[in-house]
Structure 1
Amino acid sequence: MNLFPLIPLSIAVLFAFKLTLIYVLAVIYGHVKPVFPYISDAGATHPEAAFFSILLFLEGILIAIMGWIRYKQIRYIVHNMPKPNENNNSLTIDENKLTKITKYNKQGLYLQIAVMLSVAMVAAFRSTEHLEIHLIFGAFPAFIASIWYFYIQTWTSYQFIPTVNSIFVARFRLFCSVLAIIFGTIMILSISITWFDVTLPYSEIRGPPRLWWDEKTGGYIGHVVSAVNENLMIFMMSPFYASFVCEFRRIHSHNGRLKFTFNDNVQSV
């Protein structure tokens, strides 16, 4: 049985499962207001904090593993790509683009490692106890690295049409990437506006009182808008990672070594 497709699939499932689980637990235990808290706020209090940390660590490890395997897969494809002057009907890419793919491929590996380290910081430093560390060394770097990784993989997917992936897959990744950028941008703008309108002192905003943000606190509308877009942005990562399942089906392990294949024709789904 080929287990490699389970890696991107597991990441996709973990994203959706984590969002649902910690939100439901936080609301049931009365730790947050049910109208869209920030993800980290929903996972800031026990027992949901324990599940939040465990799932984040699992996500980070799987993301780094997937990043390494995807790096090896793209490197194999580039090294075995037919040259443009060869007489064949296979996909050919000029040398300049191959150089760019190789450069982006290395960046993609580093970005996935950065995401792993960033989500570990998010898990280790709760938003109600170490807000600055949580944001500066955790949430923001994870967001930036993820968005840049989305761009790299989307651009690479367009270069690999139709041999490695279909145009449907490339367009689907572009769709997910654009939505994630839109949601992330709205989230950041809303957070910025919210912090100017909020009436709570900073000492309370950075601690547990933030979990019960309401209309009386000030900046409530911006808080809800930013929290909704944060949830949507993270949710869009599930289908993006799930889109790699087909490509990971072409990866096998033999005697402890990875084996890669790619076809000359990929039918659109």
Structure 2
Amino acid sequence: MWWFTQGLCFMPFFLVVWSSTSFILSYVIALFRRDVDLLFPYISDTAANPPESCIFGLMTFVSACAGMATIYSRFKFVDKLSENTKVVNPCLNKTGMVLGILACVGMCVVATFQETAVTAIHDAGALLFFSTGVLYILLQTVMSYQHYPHGSSVAVCRARLLVTVIASLAFFPTVVCAFFVKQTNLHRVKESKDYPFHVASAVCEWVVAFSFVCFFLTYIDDFKRFTLRVETELM
């Protein structure tokens, strides 16, 4: 049996591959069309103009839907583990699910409202995505250690902790440095005083985004162990 056919592990695998492809593809297209600079564009810069904005919007919507399905499946997995062990607080588990879904909603807002068209809404969606995304993986890491050894292995727990630390450390420069960036054009002026802030913010933004996405790779081993079934009852 192929590993990706076991349980539901195809869900986080698809989510990571699809989401990473959407980031990279929009960057490559924008670079080919010379819409952005080679180094240090924001993720949003690579999806500001068509056709890359259309491709990014469609692929990100699919990513958000896959993300919500994966987050809900993770919620049910932890809920099932806690039925007998009682090691994870149900409220903590539900909070994690809500935060994860909010992060997916933020992804949709970012993809739908381009930064060059509706800047305020785009920035609000980006802040929602990054803040709730980091909090989500933080809570999942905490819960992983709580239900060990009934759930994830110690290696998986440590991997989640590492990704969480990286994302958390990169989150603050992303937000703080962005406030000092005054340039609004996609081709940044290197001689500008705010260029170093742009570089720091852009690099950290890519780190946070890929940390959040790649965190779901750690779900593969867990998702091999269970399936979900939908039952229909006629009244």
Shared fold (TM-score, shorter chain, > 0.5): yes
Instruction: Return the match for 1:65 from 69, 72, 83.
Output: 69
Q: Is the CA contact 1:15–1:237 (under 8 Å) kept in the aligned structure 2?
A: no
Aligned positions of 1:231-246 closer than 5 A = 231-246=206-221
Q: Is the CA contact 1:44–1:128 (under 8 Å) kept in the aligned structure 2?
A: yes
Instruction: Return the match for 2:186 from 165, 187, 211.
Output: 211
Q: Is the CA contact 2:7–2:226 (under 8 Å) kept in the aligned structure 1?
A: no
Whole-Å Cα distance in 1 between the matches of residues 109 and 208 of structure 2? Answer: 19
Gaps of 5+ in 2: none
Superposition deviation, residue 116 in structure 1: 2.2
TM-score under structure 2 normalisation? 0.90
Show the counterpart of 1:250.
Answer: 225
Aligned positions of 1:106-255 closer than 5 A = 106-136=94-124, 138-192=125-179, 194-195=180-181, 198=182, 205=184, 210-253=185-228
Show the counterpart of 2:93.
Answer: 105
**In the alignment, structure 1 residue 28 sits paired with structure 2 residue 3:** no
Whole-Å Cα distance in 1 between the matches of residues 7 and 157 of structure 2? Answer: 23
Amino acid at match of 1:229: C
Coordinate RMSD, CA, aligned = 1.7
Show the counterpart of 1:265.
Answer: none
1:168-190 CA distance string (max 9 Å, x none): 11111010000001111122222
Task: Work out which of the two has the higher radius of gyration on C-alpha atoms and give 1 or 2.
Answer: 1
Amino acid at match of 1:225: A
Superposition deviation, residue 24 in structure 1: 1.0
Superposition deviation, residue 253 in structure 1: 4.2
Amino acid at match of 1:235: F
Amino acid at match of 1:77: L
1:151-202 CA distance string (max 9 Å, x none): 110001001222211111111101000000111112222223x33xx4x5xx
Gaps of 5+ in 1: 82-92, 258-269
Amino acid at match of 2:129: A
Q: Is the CA contact 2:130–2:208 (under 8 Å) kept in the aligned structure 1?
A: no
Instruction: Return the match for 1:5 from 2, 5, 9.
Output: 9
Q: Judge which range, 51-60 or 3-12, deviates more.
A: 3-12
Whole-Å Cα distance in 2 between the matches of residues 223 and 106 of structure 1? Answer: 36
1:111-153 CA distance string (max 9 Å, x none): 12212221111111100100100011x1101111111111110
Aligned length: 227
